[in-house]
Structure formats: C-alpha cells, structure tokens
C-alpha cells in the first residue's frame, strides 16, 4: 500500500463544529489519472471535506499530502498554487463577461497592464481542442447554456494547469445529453493524466464514469470500492446504511377525499433555463402523509414554490378542495387552509427582528382575533403566543418577547411548526421540517405531523432524509430531475430501492 503513488491524499481528517463532528477520521486518496467518486447523502460531510482541501477550514486532526509530500493549505490561493481546481455546484462566473474573460480572470496575460487576449485565446482554443471542450470564447456567459458554462469552468481549471480537478455535483443542472458529454469530457481528462474527484449521489453516473468510489455517511468514512467490482445496490447500501434508527409510531393511514390535486404542472427554474419541475401530477388525500423524496436540487423547492404561490406556474393546474387555485394569491391559499413550513426558515419562515409572539401570528395577524379596526390586539397576541409556546414547548430566553434572531435553530423551527399546524390547515406542506435539528426536536415534530394526519387532514412532506421519508410517510413520490419517477409504499419498499430511484438508476411510469 505504501508504494502506491497518489496525486493527493487526505489522511485521517477530523473536523469538529460545536455539537457535531462533520468529518470523523476520513481518508481519501486520489490516484493520478483516475476518476474517483465521492458518494454520500446530504450532510454526510462531503462539502466540509472539500472546504478542508481548499483551506476554508483547518482540520483538528489529519494531514494532506500532495504527491506524497505533506502540505498545508491555509486558503484557496494555496490550493490553487498546488494545482487543485474545482467546479463549484453554483458556478463562479461573471455573467456579463465573455467566456474568454472568465477563463483568464485572475491570471490574465498582459503587457504593461494591457490585456493580451489574442495570446489567451490561442491557449484556450488549444485546450478546448485537446479536451473536446467546445465553447465560443466571445459569447457572454448569460447567453450560453448551462453545459457551456460548465465547460467554461473546466477550461478555467485547465488554463491554470490544474492537475487535480474536483467536480461538485456537476450533473445536477445538466440535461441528459449534456451529462453524456460531460462524462466523455471527464474520461478524456483522465486519459490525459488529470486526477478527477467526482462528487455525486447519482449512482448511474458513478457506475458509468468512475474508477473507484469512496463513500461517506454521517461524517464517517464507510469505505472505498473499485467500481468495476461493485453494484449499484452495494453502493446504495453503503450510502444510506441499513437501519432506520428511530421509528415513528403511527397507525395505518386511512385516506379519504382528495384535498390537493396537482395536474401536470411545470415550473421554470431561476438557476438555469431548464424547467425545474416538468409535468408533475399527483394527489394528496385527507388522512395521509405523502412524501416527495429526492436528492436536493431535483425540483422539490420549485414544486413547493409553485404550489404555495411563491412562483407562478408555467403550465398546469392546482386544485384544492375542488377549487382551482392555480392563480390564487398566497394569502387566499393560506386562508383556504394551506399551511407551509418553508424550507429556509431564515429566508421565508421568520422575521428575525420581530419578537417571537409577532412571528407566531405571521399567518393570522389579520384575523379579527388579532386585529380590530386596524389595531393589533396585543393582549390576544400575547396570550395566543403563550399558549403556543406552552403547547409546542418552544423555548426561548424571554418567552413571547424574545427576538426570533436570538433563538436556537431548533426552537425557531418549532415556532414555525407550531404556527403552521395550529392554523389547523386542510393541507400542511412541510419542507424539510427537521433540517438541522437534534433528535428530540425531530421526534417531537414528527409526532405533530402524524397527529395532524390523524385528525383527518392532508400532509405533503418534502424531505431529503431517507429515514424521515421511510418512517413518516404513507406514500412516497420520488422526484428526479424535475419529474416524478416512482411511487412507492414505505411498508413494502426498502431504503436501497428508494436510493436507486432517487439516484436516477431506476424509474417507473407513475399513474
């Protein structure tokens, strides 16, 4: 083992944050000229590991070696000097610059301060020829496809003579054809001796392009396998683990009338020109928890924005309790009985500089109970807030008058859950309701959601956590690249199978 030559090695890396070990003794070794996949769920510790490699974090334990020599990386410039480059998930490109300008930015060839673009252009064209990266150097970034933008990012690395190329979830924003092209480009790069680290959770892609695959789970290193000697099932098992650690006690669902009927909706994406949600249809009934499962960035966010009215639909219809609400304003949907626990509690869920009591009435402040003749009924707001705080066990420094900003994340989330469930909605849309919370809070929120279902209401849950999906839902819809690719019954399906659908390795015709 010791005579094996590695381009870059991260040995026994441990990185702790308050209350959490993000990387626990992780070892990653990248051979020259190989494509090495890094597989793991959301929160498995991949991005922390990469931040360590780029010097954004200093690890508590462990060392990094380049070509067998120990190196210290204090900031991204050190990483660049070691010829390590990365294509970020969100491209770091200046939109109104040309492709060429973006490539040379930071290491421009100049004479007396004047740009020598002709020289740069020659080098870029040579690289583009050599690796089959077709770009128009004079096109503006904002005018070209996401695939071209990605090729620009790759050229940026090659222009800097980078040897170690990291691709962070590069296929999330691409069309199938573009993905095929990217795979071909990656193989070409590896043939030319570049070492590639490919961060992904799409099993098909890993199987088709990677030589080896390292798997992380919950901050721990699970193992490294030769892709040729493994199967998708094996990888899926390594990624998600076998056991569902805690189980929610609930009776079988007894679904009755349809509350939410989604017909063939399409939602545009803000990130790229593809549609984020493509012709999705499904129904949610009273007394059931329907879960949209999937890996982050497959259109779940936009689907929820479309349903709640935060973004307009491109096409399709949304019907709630028989009424067409496709174009209804947000307030109307809310009054009709739609509640929404948003994905990002700081962006949408809370007014951070409002006290807790004001946040607790954010969806109801206009009701007669809280407003009379245009004046807030502060006494009622206070007593309502106190009841919610008591009932839902929201803890804070000063009770109702605590500023939301000063509360812990778990209690902020509990406050939102309390607000949305206490409205007693016909339909509860909960997006990652337990993200970043500790076990106690998770259990509590799960109980509330089940109780809401049991009171005969409909719940649409969007979750990235497989355990949550498996233990909480009555029906699972898997979303992959903006489409629903499978409908599964959590009682009969397995985590592995779910993983295959989420990673796009399997699909079925739904409805």
Partner 1 sequence: MVLLLQYTLIFAAVLLLVALGGCFTEHSGVINIGLEGIMVMGALGGALVMRFLPYDASAATLATRFGMFGLVALASVAVGMLYSLLLAVASINFKADQTIVGTAMNLLGTAAATVIVKSMNTAANPDDHSSEIQYGGPKSAFISKFGTFELNWFVILAAVLLVVSIIVLYKTRFGLRLRACGEHPQAADSVGINVFKMRYAGVLISGFLGGLGGITYITVGVSLWKFENGVAGFGFLALAVMIFGAWDPIKIAGAAILFGLFRALGNVHAGIPFLASMEIPPAVYNMLPYIVSLIVLAFTSKKSRAPKAEGIPYDKGQR
Partner 2 sequence: MKQRTPLLRKNGFQTILSSLLCIILGLLVGYLVLLVINAEGAWNAIIDVLKNFMKYPSGAARMKYLGSTLVKTAPLIMCSLSVLFAYKVGLFNIGAAGQYVIGAAAGLYCALMPGLPWYVCLLAAVAAGAISGAICGVLRAYCNVNVVISGIMLNWISLYATNLILKPGMDPTGKDTFRLVKEHKDSILPTLGLDKLFSNNQYVTIAIPIAIIVAIVIWIILDKTKFGYELKATGNNLNAAKYCGMKENRNIILTMVISGALAGLGAALFYLSDIEQWNVNSSSVPAMGFNGIAAAFLGGLNPIGAIFSSFFIQHITLGGGNVDLSHYCAQIADFISAVIIYLCGFVLFFKSVINRFLDKRDEKRIQREKAANAEATEKGGNK
Which residues here bind partner 2, judged by CB under 8 A? 308, 310, 329-334, 340, 342, 347-354, 358, 362-363, 365-366, 371, 374-376, 378, 395, 397-399, 403
**321/187 Cα distance (integer angstroms):** 52
How many other C-beta atoms can be found within 10 angstroms of the C-beta atom of residue 2?
A: 4
We find the least distance from the C-beta atom of residue 113 to partner 1, in angstroms, to be 5
For the chain, the maximum distance between any two Cα atoms, rounded to a whole number of angstroms, is: 81
Residue 310 CB, nearest distance to partner 2 (Å)?
A: 7
Q: 415: which 2 tokens?
A: 């406050």
**CA dist., res. 5 & res. 68, Å (int):** 7
Give me the DSSP letters along 107-141.
S--EETTEE-HHHHHHHHHHHHHHHT----TTSBG
Q: Considering the rule CB under 8 A, would residue 193 count as an interface residue with partner 1?
A: no
Q: Which residue, among 57, 42, 26, has the nearest Cα to 294 in the 3D structure?
A: 42
Window contacting partner 1 (CB under 8 A); options: 65-73, 76-84, 242-250, 343-351: 76-84
- Residue 37 tokens read as 């996949």
- Closest to partner 2 by CB, 322 or 368: 368
Name the minimum Å distance from CB 438 to partner 1.
25
Q: Which is nearer to partner 2, 214 or 269 (CB)?
A: 269
Would you count residue 270 as binding partner 1 (CB under 8 A)? no
Single out the segment in contact with partner 1 by CB under 8 A; choices: 7-15, 105-113, 209-217, 299-307.
105-113
Task: Scan residues 295-354 and list those touching partner 1 (CB under 8 A).
Answer: none
Residue nearer to partner 1 on the CB measure, 150 or 471: 150
| Residue entry with tokens 């360590």 | 52
**Of 25, 34, 108, 497, which one interacts with partner 1 (CB under 8 A)?**
108
Q: Which is nearer to partner 2, 17 or 366 (CB)?
A: 366
According to the binding rule CB under 8 A, does residue 101 interact with partner 1? Answer: yes
Q: Which does 397 bind (CB under 5 to 8 A by kind): partner 2, partner 1, none?
A: partner 2
Q: How far is Cα 269 from Cα 367, in angstroms, rounded to an integer?
A: 34
Which residues between 141 and 170 bind partner 1 (CB under 8 A)? 156
Q: How far apart are CA 54 and CA 81, in angstroms?
A: 11
Contact 144, 99 (CB under 8 A): yes
Q: How far apart are CB 296 and partner 1 at their closest, in Å? A: 18
Helix (H, G, I), strand (E, B) or coil at 39: strand
Based on CB atoms, which residue is closest to partner 2, 101 or 420? Answer: 420
The contacts of residue 366 (CB under 8 Å, 6+ apart) are none
Residue 142, φ and ψ in degrees, nearest 5: -65, -15
180 binds, among partner 1, partner 2, none (CB under 5 to 8 A by kind): none
Q: Which of 71, 115, 362, 403 binds partner 1 (CB under 8 A)?
A: 115
Residue 208 in tokens: 């088709």
How far is it, in rounded angstroms, from Cα 414 to Cα 388? 10
Least separation in angstroms between CB 383 and partner 2: 16
Dist CA 187 CA 511 (whole Å): 38
| 259: alpha, beta or left? (left if phi > 0; alpha if psi -120 to 50) | alpha
- Minimum CB separation of residue 114 from partner 1 in Å reads 6
Site membership for partner 1, residue 107 (CB under 8 A): yes
Write the binding mask 45 to 64 for partner 1: x where contact by CB under 8 A, - elsewhere: -----------x--------
Q: If binding is defined by CB under 8 A, does position 70 make contact with partner 1?
A: no
**Interacting residues toward partner 1 by CB under 8 A:** 56, 76-77, 80, 88, 92-97, 101-102, 104-108, 110, 113-115, 156
């Amino acid at each position: 083992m010791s005579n094996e030559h590695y381009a870059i090695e991260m040995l026994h890396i441990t990185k702790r944050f308050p209350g959490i070990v993000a990387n626990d003794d992780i070892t990653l070794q990248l051979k020259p000229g190989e494509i090495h996949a890094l597989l793991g769920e959301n929160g498995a510790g991949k991005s922390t590991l990469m931040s360590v490699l780029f010097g954004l974090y200093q690890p508590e334990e462990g060392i990094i070696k380049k070509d067998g020599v120990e190196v210290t990386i204090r900031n991204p410039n050190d990483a660049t000097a070691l010829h390590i480059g990365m294509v970020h998930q969100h491209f770091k490109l200046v939109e109104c610059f040309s492709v060429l300008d973006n490539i040379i930015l930071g290491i421009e060839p100049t004479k007396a301060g004047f740009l020598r673009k002709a020289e740069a252009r020659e080098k870029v064209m040579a690289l583009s020829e050599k690796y089959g990266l077709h770009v128009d150097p004079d096109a503006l970034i904002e005018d070209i496809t996401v695939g071209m933008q990605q090729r620009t990012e790759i050229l940026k690395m090659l222009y800097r003579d980078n040897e170690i190329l990291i691709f962070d979830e590069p296929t999330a924003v691409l069309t199938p054809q573009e993905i095929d092209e990217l795979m071909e480009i990656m193989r070409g790069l590896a043939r030319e001796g570049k070492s590639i680290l490919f961060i992904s959770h799409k099993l098909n892609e890993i199987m088709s392009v990677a030589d080896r695959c390292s798997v992380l789970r919950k901050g721990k290193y699970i193992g490294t396998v030769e892709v040729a000697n493994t199967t998708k099932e094996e990888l899926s098992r390594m990624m998600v683990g076998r056991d569902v650690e805690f189980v929610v006690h609930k009776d079988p669902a007894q679904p009755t009338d349809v509350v939410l009927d989604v017909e063939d909706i399409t939602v545009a994406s803000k990130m790229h020109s593809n549609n984020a949600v493509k012709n999705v249809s499904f129904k949610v009934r009273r007394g059931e928890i329907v879960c949209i499962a999937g890996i982050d960035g497959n259109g779940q966010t936009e689907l929820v924005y479309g349903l709640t009215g935060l973004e307009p639909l491109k096409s399709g219809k949304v019907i709630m309790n028989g009424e067409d609400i496709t174009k209804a304003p947000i307030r109307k949907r809310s009054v009709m009985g739609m509640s929404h626990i948003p994905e990002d509690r700081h962006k949408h869920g809370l007014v951070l500089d409002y006290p807790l009591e004001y946040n607790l009435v954010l969806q109801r402040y206009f009701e007669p109970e809280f407003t009379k003749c245009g004046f807030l009924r502060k006494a009622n707001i206070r007593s309502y807030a106190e009841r919610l705080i008591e009932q839902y066990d929201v803890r804070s420094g000063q009770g109702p008058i605590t500023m939301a900003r000063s509360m812990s994340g778990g209690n902020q989330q509990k406050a939102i859950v309390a607000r949305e469930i206490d409205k007693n909605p016909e339909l509860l849309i909960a997006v990652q309701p337990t993200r970043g919370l500790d076990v106690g809070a998770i259990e509590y929120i799960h109980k509330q959601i089940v109780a809401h279902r049991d009171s005969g209401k409909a719940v649409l849950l969007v979750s990235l956590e497989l355990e949550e999906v498996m233990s909480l839902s009555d029906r699972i819809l898997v979303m992959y690249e903006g489409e629903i690719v499978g409908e599964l019954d959590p009682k009969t399906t397995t985590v592995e199978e779910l993983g295959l659908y989420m990673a796009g390795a399997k699909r079925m015709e739904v409805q």
